[in-house]
Amino acid sequence: MKYSGWPDPGELVVGKIDEIEDFGVFVDLEEYRDKRGLIHISEVASGWIKNVRDHVREGQIVVCKVLDVDEGSQQIDLSLKDVNDHQRSDKIQEWKNEQKADNWMDLAFGDEIDDEDYTAIANELIGVHGSLYDGFKQAAIHGEEALSDTDLDDDEIDALVETARENVSVPYVNVTGYVDLENPSPSGVDGIREALEAAAGNGAIPDEVDLEVSYVGAPEYRIEVQAPNYKTAESHLEESAQRAISAIEGHGGSGEYHRKRRTDDE
């Protein structure tokens, strides 16, 4: 996705060097539609420059700082020397992330989506989460809840969440669910305890998964799972609840799994 409009002075932008002259370097801005900037020779590198081509080459991807924007003359003045290594690395990573998010948008909605609809959906994600990439990342972690503050319709949200969960890699995700356990049989508290031990996995949970079961308020118990990805976390959450339900039913009791907490509402 390329932005319409103009960059702001002080902003870091990614560009591809298009033309090199003795007085400076012309750069096509990768993030802005039909925008081109100029790096004057004095802004290419610190110190005296004998030959600009000793410092840059055509086709090179660079990170520049916007010095000045003159919309009337269609001119954007850029600096290469004012960007340090840390800024350059962070900006390139941000740009690559947005390219990934562009591809995910194509996966979610296909080539048939028109530019106006594409931009409208992208702007909703950017407006709530700051960037297209972060919108997908939050959708992968939190699902529909991450998009609840947007004006997207249900079909658009479903497409984004499904695509995010199939394609976005995140360090870990946290999911939470609840199970209600009741045991009127003679085993009473012992039966509940056995069901909670079953929910916790009886020591059989994989090392990459962290699963905890805690008391909320009778008859409700919380199950919290941390895992490397959403599918793994969701799977262990549901399996944990089902183990607890099966165990309590074995004692003649009953169990019910639900995703939202109920105790506060009662």
What does the DSSP assignment read for 20-53? EETTEEEEEESSBTT-EEEEEGGGTSSS--S-GG
Tokens representing residue 137 in the block: 């990342």
C-alpha pair distances (Å), 123 with each of 94, 133, 136, 138, 141: 17, 12, 13, 15, 20
Q: Is 26 exposed, middle or buried, given 0-12, 13-18 or 19+ CB atoms closer than 10 A?
A: middle
Residue 165 dihedral angles phi and psi, to the nearest 5°? -70, -20
Q: What is the mean pLDDT of the chain?
A: 92
Tokens representing residue 193 in the block: 């305890």
For residue 165, give the nearest of 151, 147, 179, 178 by alpha carbon.
147
- The mean pLDDT of 129-143, rounded to a whole number, is 90
pLDDT for 38-81, tens place per residue? 999 999 999 899 899 999 999 999 999 999 999 999 999 999 99
Q: What is the pLDDT of residue 264?
A: 61
Q: What is the pLDDT of residue 142?
A: 80
Question: Does pLDDT of 31 surpass 60?
Answer: yes
Sheet of 220-227: strands edge to edge?
210-217, 220-227, 173-182, 254-258
DSSP 3-state assignment of 116? helix
Question: Does pLDDT of 266 surpass 50?
Answer: no
Contact yes or no for 79/28 (Cβ under 8 A) = no
Instruction: Round to whole Å and give the CA distance between 240 and 84.
Output: 49
Q: What is the pLDDT of residue 169?
A: 81
Predicted model pTM? 0.64
C-alpha pair distances (Å), 134 with each of 72, 137, 142, 146, 244: 34, 5, 12, 10, 35
Name residue 34's amino acid.
Answer: D
- Strand-pairing partners, residue 77, are 38, 68
Q: What is the pLDDT of residue 1?
A: 64
Q: What is the pLDDT of residue 170?
A: 75
- Strand-pairing partners, residue 185, are none
Q: What is the pLDDT of residue 218?
A: 82
Angle at 203 between CA 200 and CA 205, to 5 degrees: 75
3-state DSSP percent of the chain in helix, strand and coil, to 5 = 40, 25, 30
Contact yes or no for 177/258 (Cβ under 8 A) = yes
Question: Does pLDDT of 253 surpass 50?
Answer: yes
pLDDT-derived band at 125, boundaries 50, 70, 90: very high
- Tokens 């080539």 correspond to what residue? 111
Question: Does pLDDT of 244 surpass 50?
Answer: yes
